[in-house]
């Protein structure tokens, strides 16, 4: 009887090779977060729907995965309720799967605010679920990787985000990237300058697309939203190609933008204390992100020639927990898009062969006696911290070597009767085919020196 073994649409298995590469990325990110004083947090996959609903807009609510109540789930519903999905749903579900890491974090901060040492710096790396239409690069289950500081307005937080992005990407071997920065107040200033204050969200949606649809496209879109020709003309003087930050600052003199530029400059000055050769920060007036939430500096990271969109983004918000009835906890956060980082690194061929922690050595053997002899060597190899295996069955050497090959094990130790007699084992490189005869202690020295 053949049963089907397919996965739900939009979900993936991560086999060993992919997992090791993902772990390479995540281990580096965790190391940097930890060194910057961020501590780990995990929240449950399920949250009460009352916590999730109304936090992500109508579209978001629609994309929540809901958990059917246990047992006789219809017991709380009337025949009337059962006529429509929309009337039945709240009677048969009260939990949903995490949609992002921000709302659970806000819930955590709100309910633990009396026990937390503020400022609270946490990172969180967990999957989230969205009932989105799956397509290339968009999944229904994917990891988010967030770091936030709440309880302070200090610009050192923004500065450290820039530093952390630099450190992480450097550790991953990414060199050509830019950290685009803008400020909510600067965009407000643009609105004031255009004579359309209060239209910030329409404006943002428009200029955010400048990269994709060009200036003519943006003009058309803004026109359609009721922006006057005059106001669009004014916008043009700001978005003009190659316009410097200083120039834009002077055009927007007297608007809210000044506060934004001041913060930007303070951050750049703080950054200078860290003496980076290149901080990769690039002011970008067309960066808008989801402004509803952000109130200060906003970020987005682009890797050149990576074939993917932004791999990281974030910004400052004034009020993380207001929606849970706890006011005035400001903060700033950012996240790495692990799937995109993975794709970018693959595209740029940046995964180091040697840093992937797979098995280093396989012991192969000619018969049971050789196998038994090999156990002693296996013990010594592992005691020396070398990831090693012995082929478990007595079988043809070719089959054993095939296993090493398939699993990407780069060294094998061959044990035959000659080796047992002399104690000199054969170390064979699977890459070059080269064979060397040496004692197990010498093999251990060779392998640990190579790794060191």
Question: Residue 138 interacts with its own copies (CB under 8 A)?
Answer: no
Which residues are within 8 A (CB) of 321 and not within 5 positions of it... i.e. 6 or more apart? Answer: 106, 109, 110, 113, 327, 329
Binding its own copies (rule: CB under 8 A), the pick from 225, 247, 347, 357 is: 357
- The 10 Å Cβ neighbour count of residue 165 is 24
How far apart are the C-alpha atoms of 354 and 216, rounded to whole Å?
Answer: 49
How far apart are the C-alpha atoms of 379 and 375, rounded to whole Å?
Answer: 6
Question: Residue 392 interacts with its own copies (CB under 8 A)?
Answer: yes
Cα four-point dihedral sign 56, 256, 288, 151: negative
Closest CA to 107 of 43, 40, 37, 152: 43
The torsion angle over the Cα atoms of residues 352, 357, 360 and 362, rounded to 10 degrees, is: -130
Question: Residue 175 interacts with its own copies (CB under 8 A)?
Answer: no
Question: Residue 57 interacts with its own copies (CB under 8 A)?
Answer: no
Q: Which is nearer to its own copies, 205 or 384 (CB)?
A: 384
Question: Residue 29 interacts with its own copies (CB under 8 A)?
Answer: no
How far apart are the C-alpha atoms of 221 and 225, rounded to whole Å?
Answer: 6
State how beta strands 297-303 and 177-183 pair: antiparallel
Minimum CB distance to its own copies, residue 347 (Å): 22
Stretch that binds its own copies, among 45-53, 170-178, 308-316, 419-427 (CB under 8 A): 45-53
Q: For the segment 262-291, give every residue that binds its own copies (CB under 8 A).
A: 270, 273-275
Binding its own copies (rule: CB under 8 A), the pick from 26, 60, 67, 173 is: 67
Place of tokens 């890491």: 101
Place of tokens 């050509």: 176
Minimum CB distance to its own copies, residue 195 (Å): 35
Minimum CB distance to its own copies, residue 116 (Å): 8
Which residues are within 8 A (CB) of 404 and not within 5 positions of it... i.e. 6 or more apart? Answer: 362, 364, 412, 430
Q: Which is nearer to its own copies, 79 or 434 (CB)?
A: 79
Question: Residue 295 interacts with its own copies (CB under 8 A)?
Answer: no
- The 10 Å Cβ neighbour count of residue 196 is 22
Q: Which is nearer to its own copies, 187 or 443 (CB)?
A: 443
Q: Which is nearer to its own copies, 76 or 436 (CB)?
A: 76
Binding its own copies (rule: CB under 8 A), the pick from 213, 236, 304, 375 is: 375
Size of the site for its own copies (CB under 8 A): 104
Minimum CB distance to its own copies, residue 189 (Å): 26
Minimum CB distance to its own copies, residue 148 (Å): 13
Binding its own copies (rule: CB under 8 A), the pick from 25, 52, 65, 284 is: 65
Cα four-point dihedral sign 70, 72, 74, 76: negative
Binding its own copies (rule: CB under 8 A), the pick from 28, 121, 145, 251 is: 121
Binding its own copies (rule: CB under 8 A), the pick from 211, 230, 246, 393 is: 393
- Name the DSSP class of 232: H
Question: Residue 141 interacts with its own copies (CB under 8 A)?
Answer: yes
């Amino acid at each position: 009887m053949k049963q089907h073994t397919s996965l739900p649409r939009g979900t993936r298995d991560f086999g060993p090779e992919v997992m090791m590469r993902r772990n390479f990325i995540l281990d580096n990110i965790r190391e940097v977060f930890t060194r910057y004083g961020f501590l780990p947090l995990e929240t449950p996959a399920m949250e009460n729907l009352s916590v999730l609903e109304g936090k992500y807009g109508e579209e978001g609510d629609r994309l929540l995965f809901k958990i059917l109540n246990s047992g006789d789930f219809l017991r709380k519903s009337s025949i009337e309720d059962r006529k429509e999905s929309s009337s039945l749903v709240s009677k048969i579900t009260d939990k949903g799967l995490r949609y992002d890491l921000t709302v659970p974090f806000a819930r955590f901060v709100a309910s633990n605010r009396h026990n937390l040492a503020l400022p609270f710096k946490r990172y969180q790396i967990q999957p989230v679920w969205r009932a989105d239409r799956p397509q290339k690069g968009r999944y229904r289950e994917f990891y988010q990787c967030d770091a936030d500081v709440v309880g302070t307005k200090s610009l050192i937080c923004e500065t450290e985000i820039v530093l952390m992005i630099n450190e992480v990407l450097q550790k991953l071997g990414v060199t050509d990237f830019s950290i685009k920065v803008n400020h909510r107040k600067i965009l407000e200033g643009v609105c004031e300058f255009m004579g359309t204050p209060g239209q910030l969200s329409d404006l943002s949606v428009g200029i955010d697309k400048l990269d994709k649809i060009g200036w003519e496209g943006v003009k058309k879109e803004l026109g359609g939203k009721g922006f006057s020709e005059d106001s669009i003309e004014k916008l043009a003087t700001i978005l003009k190609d190659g316009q410097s930050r200083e120039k834009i600052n002077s055009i927007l003199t007297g608007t809210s933008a000044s506060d934004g530029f001041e913060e930007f400059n303070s951050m750049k000055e703080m950054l200078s204390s860290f003496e980076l050769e290149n901080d990769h920060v690039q002011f970008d007036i067309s960066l808008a992100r989801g402004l509803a939430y952000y109130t200060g500096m906003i970020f987005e990271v682009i890797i050149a020639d990576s074939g993917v969109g932004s791999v990281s983004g974030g910004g400052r918000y004034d009020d993380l927990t207001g929606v849970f009835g706890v006011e005035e906890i400001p903060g700033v956060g950012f996240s790495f898009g692990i799937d995109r980082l993975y794709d970018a690194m693959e595209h740029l061929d940046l995964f180091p062969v040697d840093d992937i922690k797979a098995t280093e050595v396989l012991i192969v053997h000619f018969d049971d006696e050789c196998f038994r002899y090999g156990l002693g060597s296996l013990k010594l190899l592992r005691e020396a911290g070398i990831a090693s295996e012995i082929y478990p069955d007595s079988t043809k050497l070719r089959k054993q070597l095939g296993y090493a090959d398939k699993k990407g094990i780069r060294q094998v130790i061959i044990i035959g009767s000659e080796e047992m007699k002399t104690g000199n084992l054969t170390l064979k490189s699977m890459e070059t085919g080269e064979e060397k005869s040496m004692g197990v202690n010498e093999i251990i020295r060779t392998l640990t020196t190579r790794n060191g």
